[in-house]
């Protein structure tokens, strides 16, 4: 395959409000995202032209509802099209995007919708913690009582031990992402946080404090993707996906090569960069999987934005701020925009779509031409990286 | 696309024993199926050549374990490849097969594994009934207490009322499938049942009795699929998939066009037949989704094996018996082989693979050249149909 050749083109995208969406089912939240994508693309007749739907959804336990593909297809007005759910923990909708890319590349479909959804806030925090834990290893992790804050705390302490990363550097990720989120009208928490406040928030799992953790959020996201050669029929400014990588790793963290790096993310990044013919230096804007602040620092390293061990310094130097060399998580990230787990992968792609089409308003990155999205499932048993380019 | 042109080729397939597999996790059961597929295909180096895995898995509640893609990839010896779970209720692994077909057709992968798995029998019947119910509509079905036997009983009574289908005809499906299952060493219940015994078994949801219901079973299934042009590298007798259709319908049965037919199955069948350039009369052997006996009768009609309303007569005339005009569910079907929900779609494909490669032993259909598999999710909100051809 020719390097940098568009795999598919994004011709529209939609995002529900992220937050505590009371009184709505997941299917209704997804319909909000779908409606935005339809409204944004008046040349498309959804009912006639969208031929398949792939929807990331992590947990049927939240609403006691599986069979998410058909359900959201119907509520989005797309009755009868083939519709399936993809699940790869918090990378469920990056997996949906991948399945959609394959479907379009197969030649069997011209126009496909991909997306994701999760409704979480009607459950108690302990229920959500338990449901999320299903993405970790049952016999050797869950059963012994460790949950995701604990697993990422292990990574954080290992990183601190090996590289001298500090609690202040972790908190700086939160400060940056909350600033960005304060500029995003769809973010769950649209408020700044000071370094002092983040550092003095209560411990969840040492060294991770409340402000090191992403949010429990309701939300949905979607993209309409097409064959590149027909994209102009639908929009003057299609965004091309030019690289896609995905890899897996052992479900249990105890079996991994490293605690300070995600092998699956490194493999995915390598695949995506090679397919795109792009180097880390060529990325203008990125959304990375900051489920915990340490995850963003490790992402910098796995994606080649800096050398291993230098992620803490990268945030400290301000290079990933909105006005820095390489703005990361301009949407506010999982930390401030929120993390409705099944929706996160395509929500990251939505932000990149806005940035590359200059629709990101107060958080617009100037002259952004190439973007990257990095989505992680669980503690790293899945990772997926996509690279996007404007024409 | 050229009619009847192979989309992909099956070069190997595996199936675990179906039954009550005590002391095993789903990942271990899947590894059994994978091992059979590997053993059957000595020319393939799985670790080097299998490039992606798609695995159907319906419920994370059974083992409190999601993130099934990565988990089973690791246990099957396929660490690091991209691996995702697909879910479309009981059609989860037909969805995995479809995703795998798209992946191969995309040109990005040469060799892909697809499959499915479910571990159910360690749970109580009421837990299983509740977990399965998540594939029906929460607000308007589950919440009011109806579960799948009740939903299919509604279809049965509607079919009886409209077409005069009888309880005896329903029971004949059980008798036929138990006979076939008695010849299948991997079936869960390898025993014959008489018409009298089936008819006198206790009611589950009138008119459906115990012997009208499929089994709660543990099991896994998988296929190795490749680009057709490289299939001969791996086997002298590849089986080509020449048609694939899938459609969805409203999750709630109350919104459907009909109670006596599944619109999603009819659409899927039409797509698959057209793609394959095959008519119902051209099918030599079929596996259909007999989650309840009424479902097999409706499948006959939706697939065009007979006219609407004549499914009861078709079974009564014996045309779908092992020695009939069109043998259906030679494996024993969900009724006797068992129904580990996530595994069922590719388990059907496994049986067709055995039949078309003449490896079906005592249940071999003579000169079978073209096979069909029909997989339904929930009460029909998903359906998928695949058509297979030997060279």
Global confidence as pTM: 0.98
Which superfamily, per CATH, for B150-214+242-390? Thiolase/Chalcone synthase (3.40.47.10)
At residue A4, the pLDDT reads 87
**Per-domain residue ranges of chain A:** 8-123+217-239, 143-215+242-390
CB-based contact B88 A105, cutoff 8 Å? no
State the best of A6, A79, A96, A106 to mutate against chain B, taking most chain B CBs within 10 Å: A106
Query: What is the Cα Rg of chain B in Å?
Result: 19
At residue B391, the pLDDT reads 87
Residue whose structure tokens are 């699929």: B225
Residues B187 and B222: their CA atoms lie apart, in Å, by 16
Q: What distance in Å separates residue B300's CA from the closest CA in chain A?
A: 20
**Chain A residues with beta carbon closer than 8 angstroms to that of B88:** 67, 69-70, 83-85
Q: How confident is the model at residue B262 (pLDDT cuts 50, 70, 90)?
A: very high
Residue whose structure tokens are 């509640």: B61
Residue B263: closest CA among chain A residues belongs to which residue? Answer: A80
CB-based contact A248 B80, cutoff 8 Å? yes
Q: For A107, which of B1, B25, B64 is closest by C-beta distance?
A: B1
**Chain B residues with beta carbon closer than 8 angstroms to that of A97:** none
Q: What distance in Å separates residue B329's CA from the closest CA in chain A?
A: 25
List C-alpha distances in Å: B297 to A128, B264, B289, B311, B316: 42, 16, 10, 5, 11
Q: Which sequence positions of A are flagged as catalytic?
A: 90, 339
Quick one: tokens of B27? 């990942």
The number of angstroms, rounded, from the C-alpha of B13 to the middle of its chain's C-alpha atoms is 14
Q: How confident is the model at residue B1 (pLDDT cuts 50, 70, 90)?
A: low
Summarised one tens digit per residue, pLDDT across range B85-110 is: 999 999 999 999 999 999 999 999 99
**Chain A residues with beta carbon closer than 8 angstroms to that of B66:** 58-59, 87, 89, 134-135
State the best of B70, B89, B104, B381 to mutate against chain A, taking most chain A CBs within 10 Å: B70
CB-based contact B99 A99, cutoff 8 Å? yes
Q: For A134, which of B66, B69, B249 is closest by C-beta distance?
A: B66
Model confidence at A1: pLDDT above 60: no
Quick one: tokens of A107? 């030649």
Residue A250: closest CA among chain B residues belongs to which residue? Answer: B74
| Residue B384 near residue B206, CB atoms below 8 Å | no
Residue whose structure tokens are 């009564």: B316
Residues B71 and A139: their CA atoms lie apart, in Å, by 12
Contacts across the A-B interface (CB distance below 8 Å) = 207
Q: For A102, which of B81, B86, B108 is closest by C-beta distance?
A: B108
At residue A2, the pLDDT reads 60
Q: What angle do CA A90, A95, A96 make, to 5 degrees?
A: 110
Quick one: tokens of B207? 């008119």
CB-based contact B69 A82, cutoff 8 Å? no
Q: Shortest CA distance to A213 belongs to which of A200, A223, A203, A224?
A: A203
Do the domains at A8-123+217-239 and A143-215+242-390 have one common CATH topology? yes
ipTM summary value: 0.98
Orientation angle between helical segments B293-302 and B167-182, nearest 10 degrees = 100
Asked: is A8-123+217-239 a CATH 3.30.70.1060 domain? The reply is no
**Chain A residues with beta carbon closer than 8 angstroms to that of B137:** 65, 71
Summarised one tens digit per residue, pLDDT across range A292-321 is: 999 999 999 999 999 999 999 999 999 999
Q: What distance in Å separates residue B98's CA from the closest CA in chain A?
A: 9
> DSSP letter string over A96-109?
HHHHHHHHHHTTS-
List C-alpha distances in Å: A138 to A135, A295, A346, A373, B9: 8, 22, 27, 29, 35
At residue B4, the pLDDT reads 87
Q: Which architecture, in CATH terms, is A143-215+242-390?
A: 3-Layer(aba) Sandwich (3.40)
Which helix (H) or strand (E) segment is B46 a member of? helix B46-49
Summarised one tens digit per residue, pLDDT across range A168-204 is: 999 999 999 999 999 999 999 999 999 999 999 999 9
State the best of B248, B256, B257, B382 to mutate against chain A, taking most chain A CBs within 10 Å: B248
Model confidence at A3: pLDDT above 90: no
Residues B223 and B116: their CA atoms lie apart, in Å, by 10
At residue B186, the pLDDT reads 98
* Residue-averaged pLDDT of chain A: 97
**Chain A residues with beta carbon closer than 8 angstroms to that of B80:** 247-249, 263-264, 267
Buried b (16+ CB within 10 A) or exposed e, B136-162: bbbeebbeeebbbbbbbbbbbbbbbee
> Phi, psi at residue B358, to the nearest 5°?
55, 45
> DSSP letter string over B194-230?
-HHHHHTSPEEETTEEGGGB----BEEEEEEEE-GGG
CB-based contact A67 B139, cutoff 8 Å? no
CB-based contact B106 A108, cutoff 8 Å? no
Which helix (H) or strand (E) segment is A189 a member of? none
Residues B82 and B52: their CA atoms lie apart, in Å, by 5
Summarised one tens digit per residue, pLDDT across range B223-259 is: 999 999 999 999 999 999 999 999 999 999 999 999 9
Model confidence at A15: pLDDT above 60: yes
Q: For A70, which of B59, B67, B248 is closest by C-beta distance?
A: B248
| Residue B98 near residue B244, CB atoms below 8 Å | yes
Q: For B84, which of A79, A81, A95 is closest by C-beta distance?
A: A95
Three-state DSSP at B349 gives helix
């Amino acid at each position: 395959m020719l390097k940098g050749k568009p795999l598919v083109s994004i011709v529209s995208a939609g995002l529900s409000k992220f937050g505590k969406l009371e009184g709505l089912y997941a299917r209704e939240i997804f319909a909000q995202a779908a409606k935005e994508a339809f409204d944004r693309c008046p040349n498309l007749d959804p009912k006639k032209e969208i031929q398949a739907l792939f929807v990331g959804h992590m947990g049927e336990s939240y609403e006691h509802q599986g069979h998410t593909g058909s359900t959201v297809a119907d509520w989005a007005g797309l009755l009868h099209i083939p519709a399936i759910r993809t699940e790869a923990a918090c990378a469920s909708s990056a997996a949906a995007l991948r399945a959609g890319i394959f479907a379009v590349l197969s030649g069997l479909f011209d126009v496909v919708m991909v997306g994701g959804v999760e409704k979480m806030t009607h459950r108690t925090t302990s229920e959500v913690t338990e449901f999320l834990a299903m993405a970790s290893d049952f016999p050797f992790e869950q059963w012994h009582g460790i949950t995701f804050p604990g697993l990422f705390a292990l990574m954080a302490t290992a990183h601190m031990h090996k590289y001298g990363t500090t609690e202040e550097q972790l908190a700086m990720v939160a400060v940056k992402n909350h600033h960005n989120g304060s500029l995003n009208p769809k973010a769950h928490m649209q408020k700044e946080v000071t370094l002092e406040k983040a550092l003095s928030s209560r411990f969840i799992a040492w060294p991770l404090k409340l402000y090191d953790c992403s949010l429990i959020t309701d939300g949905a996201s979607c993209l309409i993707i097409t064959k590149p050669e027909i994209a102009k029929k639908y929009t003057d400014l299609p965004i091309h996906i030019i690289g896609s990588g995905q890899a897996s790793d052992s479900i249990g963290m105890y079996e991994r090569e490293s605690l300070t790096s995600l092998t699956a993310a490194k493999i995915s990044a390598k695949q995506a960069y090679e397919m795109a013919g792009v180097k880390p230096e060529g990325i203008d804007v990125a959304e990375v999987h900051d489920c915990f602040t340490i995850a963003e620092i490790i992402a910098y390293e796995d994606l080649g934005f800096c050398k291993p061990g230098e992620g803490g310094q990268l945030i400290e130097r301000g290079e990933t701020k909105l006005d820095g060399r390489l703005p990361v998580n301009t949407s506010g990230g999982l930390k401030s925009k929120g993390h409705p787990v099944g929706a996160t992968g395509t929500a990251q792609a939505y932000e990149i779509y806005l940035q590359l089409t200059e629709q990101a308003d107060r958080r617009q990155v100037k002259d952004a031409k190439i973007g990257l999205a990095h989505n992680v499932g669980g503690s790293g048993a899945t990772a997926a990286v996509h690279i996007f380019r404007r024409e």
